[in-house]
Structure 1
Amino acid sequence: MGEETAVPNVQQARKRHRARHQKSRLGCFPCKSRRVKCDEARPVCGSCSSRGEPCSFPEPPATPHRTRRDGPRSRHRDAGSPHVDGSRSFLKPLEIYASRSASIPTPVDDHALNMNNLLSMQFFHMHTAQGMFLDPKRSMVWRRVIPDLAANHRYLMHLLLALGGIHMITEQTRQRRGEKSAVDLLVVIDHHQRGLQGFREEVARISDANAEVVYAGSLLLVAFVYASLQVPELNPPATTLSQQAPRTIYKLHLSWLHLVRGVPTVIRDQWTTLKASRMRPMVLHFHGDEYWDDLPFVSSLSNLSHCSPRFLLFAQGTSQAIADLRASCDAIQSADSNAFRLTPGFSPASSDRAAYVPSGAIDVLERVYSRVVAVLRCSVSERGLPDESDIQANLEEAAVQSWPTLVPDDFIALLDMDEPLDLGWGLSLVILAHYYVVNTLMDRWFLASFREEVLKIQTSVSSLHNAQLSELMMWPVKVATI
């Protein structure tokens, strides 16, 4: 009888003990990810200390007066920060050195399981990571390695949520035009800006110890900048560049190009470390021109007719397209030796063709196009009748999308000039459209905007009313829109 009554007493004691337990709501991120109680000892909790792991904590929850729209923060804006009202300027998530806008609503708890974060996280795992690469090893980096790193580095989690969120927005916009997205764009931009701030801090102290994390952040940033081109709110509409001769011209957004070009410089000195890390599949490609040039290829590309007609059209017209660009470049230079002058007094040496800005850009374009054609021939040689996935996999392996890192600096500077509106600038736009064609060949969700970007360039070129430049645009437009 005594034994029978003792059992309930033990259970009651355990219940009383559990009732006194208080859940840790400000525990460190590693403890939260392992679902264990954190003693909240700072700067390193007891659990992380015993494991010898890095320990980081969330910021304390913001007080109510900091989150009110009518509070002091809403009355003091940074100059140039985007507004949220109907007259707001366009958001600028690609401004690397821009401070975070106070007009973007801040969640009370950055790590609360709010619906926007849950939807973005779910979409990233189910769709975003799955669609980044075809290669199983590279796909695994996006599906396993990057989320694992993000679980232990707050700024990476912000970048991951930003990418999943913007992917969800682009897909819902494409499928249900006119309907509001389930994810708030302002929340996505907020994640992007917070992640960007943390990324800058990590880059400032980059070493072998954090190279893997920094590289993961750079991949998330590059994917986001490509995807952002698909969001109208992040890209201004047509603008007039010249008041003396009003013309409807699309002001090109080259900030994404600068960011993509900057990523290799961030991790260049950590190459050896990255090759031995979990990010190894992302840095090893058969991307050298000499690799593809040395392979025995079949001469006929007629078997590409079983794939997208875009590939066959590209293969048939690339040589003539390059020849036409060179002929136009020479003609414009002969007519006006200052057509491509970057600064007063600048005169390219006639004996040094590479110093002539468009000529150097065309040389790089020809190498990139040759690599794409080599990939197409290799696909036919390997498969006989290659399907779309075979070609996409080989384009991915050849890293044809890396062309932004190869474009000459002077060419980018020429495109960035204010109010050029001359034939030299027009030809540079045509050359850029040809580069964009390479991205239209890649079947990736984050590259879906380049078809529209080619059409925007066509609008700007047509405004110059030059028959020669308009004719040069016909081939890239046809390839991009077929």
Structure 2
Amino acid sequence: MNDSPRPTEAPSYLARKTHRKSRLGCLECKRRRVKCDETHPACNNCTRRSTPCNYPVSNATSPRERPRKVPMWRDHIPKVAFKHNYVAQLILAFSALHLAREDRSREAVCVARSTALESAAISGMMDALSKDASSNPGALWVASMMLCFCSFGKGPQPGQYLVYSETREPEWLGLLQGVKTISETSPNAISSVIPTSDKPVAERTEPMSPEQVVPGLGKALDDLRSSVDAFRAEDPSFEKYLHPLDELRNCFGSAFERRIDSNSIKICSHMVFAWLYRLEEHYLATLQAKRPMALVILAHYLVLLSQLEGYWYIHGWVPHIMEAVKRQLHPAYQQWLQWPQSSILTSPAASAA
């Protein structure tokens, strides 16, 4: 009787020890190539090492939601990038910022490279705007979106608060205004990038009241609107605050849906960014001038933005801007920050980040 191992068998001392692979582990464990227990909000490895624990955004996205975003980034936007250098440059600039966050040893090099790419892209966009911009509205729309992401991706910077700064208006806002003008005169700008026929069937969702996610929202916005109306009765210039306030209510109202199959909450990120896109120049000017009511409205928007705090490029921005608003707001208006501050601290996204 032959007791030698069969050819297909390996000696026990060479057998590889198997374990459950961590496919949904945190970024830090993936970087260190160690097994992650996937505990939320922070895994045990990061807790033990006292290091920040962040999970990839895709892990928090249901498999049914991913196909909606994949075709645009996989199939359509790359085609636009091959035709327009400034789109490709901004995609690479954003990627470099992601690398800077992931690998701190290369942070300085990656940030410098991203800055150079963004500068070249802005020059290309300005050139396109000065020529026949109506011939490529879709490319400019994609570029404006990537500029916004790059602004977030740089992370909070001293004196920079995304929609205003200590010195001058952020450059990307001026470009955004130009792109908005083109989009308004070219209603097919987005469909030229993402053909309607190529859009996958949407997952089954139903509208969801924002009050279920952010309690007290309705009263907070109603009180703020009443205050603006009272000021407007004495000072007609307060009219300029009605549009951003109404748009904020609209964005909150469309930002949340309930997935019917899983009964989970879906955050429509495009509606979170829509408020930034819809801002008018005169309101942006009041933000840059640090007018109290403009800052109060921005503080209320931070509650909506905090729902995306789990995204790597959003992380840190909400507390950074809120601290600036608190510091720059006149004492008479400080009471208006009570609801935004308490809602940000208790929001689901903030607690899970």
Aligned to 1:47: none
For 2:125 and 2:57, locate their aligned partners in 1 and report how far apart those are by CA, in whole Å: 21
Aligned to 2:139: 213
Query: Do the aligned partners of residues 144 and 253 (structure 1) sit closer, same or farther apart at CA in structure 2, a change above 3 Å counting?
Result: farther
Query: Do the aligned partners of residues 399 and 253 (structure 1) sit closer, same or farther apart at CA in structure 2, a change above 3 Å counting?
Result: farther
Partner amino acid, structure 2, of 1:223: F
Aligned to 2:42: none
Query: Do the aligned partners of residues 312 and 261 (structure 1) sit closer, same or farther apart at CA in structure 2, a change above 3 Å counting?
Result: farther
CA contact (8 A) 2:97 2:110 kept: no
| CA deviation after TM superposition for structure 1 residue 445, in Å | 3.1
Q: Provide structure 1 residue ranges, at least 5 long, that are not aligned to the other structure.
A: 1-126, 174-178, 239-249, 286-294, 302-310, 339-346, 349-354
CA contact (8 A) 1:368 1:400 kept: yes
Query: Do the aligned partners of residues 144 and 445 (structure 1) sit closer, same or farther apart at CA in structure 2, a change above 3 Å counting?
Result: farther
CA contact (8 A) 2:168 2:288 kept: no
Aligned to 2:300: 434
Aligned to 1:236: 159
Partner amino acid, structure 1, of 2:239: Y
| CA deviation after TM superposition for structure 1 residue 165, in Å | 0.7
For 1:208 and 1:333, locate their aligned partners in 2 and report how far apart those are by CA, in whole Å: 38
Match of 1:167 among 91, 98, 113: 98
For 1:201 and 1:451, locate their aligned partners in 2 and report how far apart those are by CA, in whole Å: 33
Q: Secondary structure at the match of 1:271?
A: coil
For 1:400 and 1:221, locate their aligned partners in 2 and report how far apart those are by CA, in whole Å: 16
Aligned to 1:325: 224
Query: Do the aligned partners of residues 200 and 429 (structure 1) sit closer, same or farther apart at CA in structure 2, a change above 3 Å counting?
Result: same
Aligned to 2:322: 455
Aligned to 1:264: 180
Match of 1:225 among 148, 151, 161: 151
User: TM-score by structure 1 length?
Assistant: 0.48
Match of 1:193 among 93, 99, 119: 119
The structure, 1 or 2, with the larger RCO (C-alpha pairs under 8 Å, 6+ apart) is: 2
Aligned to 1:480: 344
CA contact (8 A) 1:434 1:476 kept: yes
Partner amino acid, structure 1, of 2:166: K
Q: What's the C-alpha RMSD, in Å, of the aligned pairs?
A: 4.1
Partner amino acid, structure 1, of 2:188: T
Query: Do the aligned partners of residues 136 and 297 (structure 1) sit closer, same or farther apart at CA in structure 2, a change above 3 Å counting?
Result: closer
For 2:178 and 2:301, locate their aligned partners in 1 and report how far apart those are by CA, in whole Å: 18
For 1:141 and 1:254, locate their aligned partners in 2 and report how far apart those are by CA, in whole Å: 31
For 2:60 and 2:151, locate their aligned partners in 1 and report how far apart those are by CA, in whole Å: 16
For 1:132 and 1:196, locate their aligned partners in 2 and report how far apart those are by CA, in whole Å: 32
For 1:313 and 1:284, locate their aligned partners in 2 and report how far apart those are by CA, in whole Å: 28
- Structure number with greater Rg is 1
Query: Do the aligned partners of residues 332 and 480 (structure 1) sit closer, same or farther apart at CA in structure 2, a change above 3 Å counting?
Result: same
Q: How does 1:128-207 map to 2 (within 5 A)?
A: 134-172=65-103, 181=107, 183-206=109-132
Q: Secondary structure at the match of 2:109?
A: coil
CA contact (8 A) 1:415 1:428 kept: yes
Q: Secondary structure at the match of 2:188?
A: helix
| CA deviation after TM superposition for structure 1 residue 190, in Å | 0.8
Q: Secondary structure at the match of 1:399?
A: helix
Identical-pair percentage: 19
For 1:165 and 1:457, locate their aligned partners in 2 and report how far apart those are by CA, in whole Å: 27
User: TM-score by structure 2 length?
Assistant: 0.64
Partner amino acid, structure 2, of 1:440: S
Match of 2:313 among 443, 446, 464: 446
Aligned to 2:254: 371
Partner deviation per Cα, 1:371-403 (whole Å, 9 max, x = no partner): 34xx34xx17x35x6335xx12xx24x734211
Partner amino acid, structure 2, of 1:236: G
| CA deviation after TM superposition for structure 1 residue 475, in Å | 1.5
Aligned to 1:52: none
Partner deviation per Cα, 1:187-207 (whole Å, 9 max, x = no partner): 221111112212222333346
For 1:399 and 1:260, locate their aligned partners in 2 and report how far apart those are by CA, in whole Å: 17
CA contact (8 A) 1:260 1:404 kept: no
Q: Provide structure 2 residue ranges, at least 5 long, that are not aligned to the other structure.
A: 1-55, 347-353
Match of 1:399 among 271, 293, 299: 271
For 1:449 and 1:280, locate their aligned partners in 2 and report how far apart those are by CA, in whole Å: 35
Query: Do the aligned partners of residues 411 and 218 (structure 1) sit closer, same or farther apart at CA in structure 2, a change above 3 Å counting?
Result: closer
| CA deviation after TM superposition for structure 1 residue 313, in Å | 5.2
Aligned to 1:344: none
Query: Do the aligned partners of residues 331 and 135 (structure 1) sit closer, same or farther apart at CA in structure 2, a change above 3 Å counting?
Result: same
Query: Do the aligned partners of residues 253 and 266 (structure 1) sit closer, same or farther apart at CA in structure 2, a change above 3 Å counting?
Result: same
CA contact (8 A) 2:77 2:193 kept: no
Aligned to 2:52: none
Partner deviation per Cα, 1:24-63 (whole Å, 9 max, x = no partner): xxxxxxxxxxxxxxxxxxxxxxxxxxxxxxxxxxxxxxxx
Query: Do the aligned partners of residues 218 and 274 (structure 1) sit closer, same or farther apart at CA in structure 2, a change above 3 Å counting?
Result: same
Match of 1:361 among 233, 240, 244: 244
